[in-house]
Structures are given as structure tokens and as C-alpha cells.
Amino acid sequence: MFKKILYPTDFSAHSKQCIDYILRMQNCGVEEVVLLHVMDKRVVVYGSIMSDSALDEEMLIKECTETAEKKLNEMARIFQQAGIRTKTIARLGEPFAEILTVADEVDASLIVIGHRGHSTAEKLLLGSTAEKVVRKCKRPILLVR
Ligand SMILES: Nc1ncnc2c1ncn2[C@@H]1O[C@H](COP(=O)(O)OP(=O)(O)OP(=O)(O)O)[C@@H](O)[C@H]1O
Ligand SMILES: [Mg+2]
């Protein structure tokens, strides 16, 4: 039923809670997990404006991509050890938009996403990325609280 799971992560503790849920769903026919991290374009653009150099923007993107790939591969190993195939994707863009795009690209049968991420705003019930994904995506979603 849920052959291919898209797991978007911002590497926060909230998003890591999804791992356990995905592992426990193995008997629902899970064959592959696509781990996605989106490097927020707005943050990169802001960083490059402050540093005032095109080269710094390139460097920043390169460093973030390398770090994201390393972290995604570390997380992917957890699924591989459970016998699940993995694919890792690190992209630059607006998180919710890239999550929707990748969901279509890989034809995800389910998206497993955290309800919160790195934000420390106590009042926030649902983060803005999660909210937009839930609102705009037509695919099944498991929102992990
Ligand atoms: N950059 C990202 N790349 C991949 N997945 C992400 C990204 N940001 C958030 N997510 C996913 O969305 C979930 C909810 O995070 P979200 O960003 O919506 O909440 P927040 O960080 O608490 O609030 P906000 O970003 O609105 O201040 C995370 O647990 C993660 O699964
Ligand atoms: Mg966030």
C-alpha cells in the first residue's frame, strides 16, 4: 500500500520522530524511503547578501549541500539496516514547494512529515512548511506529532 515513502527532514528532533513511525510501517509494504532535505533558498540568499560576494553564495551552497548529503546518508543507513531501499535528495529552494515537487517526481505513495521543525515558537501548533504541505498536497500524508 505504501511502497514508496517520502520523508522530508530538516534534521530537527521533531522530524526525527518520523523515523520510528516509518520503521514500524514496514509491514504495510514499504519498499523504499526517499529522504529529502531542502536548503532554504531564502536563508542562502540572505547569507549571500550579507557577505556581498557571488563566490560566497556558491561556497555556501556547496558546503550546505555536502553537509546535508552527509546527514541524509547517515539517516538512510537506519532504513537500510532494516532492509529498506533508500534514496537521498538535497535541494535548494522553498521547502514546501520542493517537497511537493519531489513527491510528484518520485511518485510517493505516502509523505511522512513532522508537525514541527526547528522553530522554538511555543504557540505554533503546526509549522508553516508542514501546514502548506498538508493543505496543498493531494497525496496521503502522515503528520507525526
Ligand atoms: N527544509 C526542510 N527540508 C525538508 N523537510 C522540512 C524542511 N523544513 C521542514 N521540514 C519538514 O516539515 C516538518 C515541520 O517543520 P516546519 O518547518 O513546518 O515547522 P517549524 O520549523 O517548527 O516552523 P517554521 O519553519 O514555520 O518556523 C519538519 O519536521 C520536517 O519533517
Ligand atoms: Mg521550519
Strands 85-93, 4-8: pairing kind: unpaired
Nearest C-alpha neighbor of 95 from the set 41, 55, 144 = 41
| Residue 15 amino acid letter | S
The pTM (predicted TM-score) of the whole model is 0.96
Q: In order of start, what are the domains of the chain with their CATH numbers?
A: 4-144 (3.40.50.620)
- Kindly report, residue by residue over 67-89, the tens digit of the pLDDT: 999 999 999 999 999 999 999 99
For atom 9 of ligand 1, the residue with the nearest CA is 10
For residue 120, report the distance from its CA to the centre of ligand 2, in Å.
10
CA distance 49 to 101: 27
Mutate to test the pocket of ligand 1, among 21, 43, 129 (most ligand atoms within 8 A of CB): 129
Average pLDDT on 94-113 reads 98
* Residue 24 and residue 142 in contact, taking contact as beta carbons nearer than 8 Å: no
Predicted confidence at residue 43, as pLDDT, reads: 85
Report angle CA 98, 12, 85 to the nearest 5 degrees: 65
String of DSSP letters for the chain: ---EEEEE--S-HHHHHHHHHHHHTGGGT--EEEEEEEEEHHHHHHHHHHHT-HHHHHHHHHHHHHHHHHHHHHHHHHHHHTT-EEEEEEEEE-HHHHHHHHHHHHT-SEEEEES--S---TT-SS-HHHHHHHHH--S-EEEE-
- Kindly report, residue by residue over 13-52, the tens digit of the pLDDT: 999 999 999 999 988 999 999 999 999 988 888 887 888 7
CA distance 34 to 89: 7
Q: Which ligand is nearest to the CA of 145?
A: 1
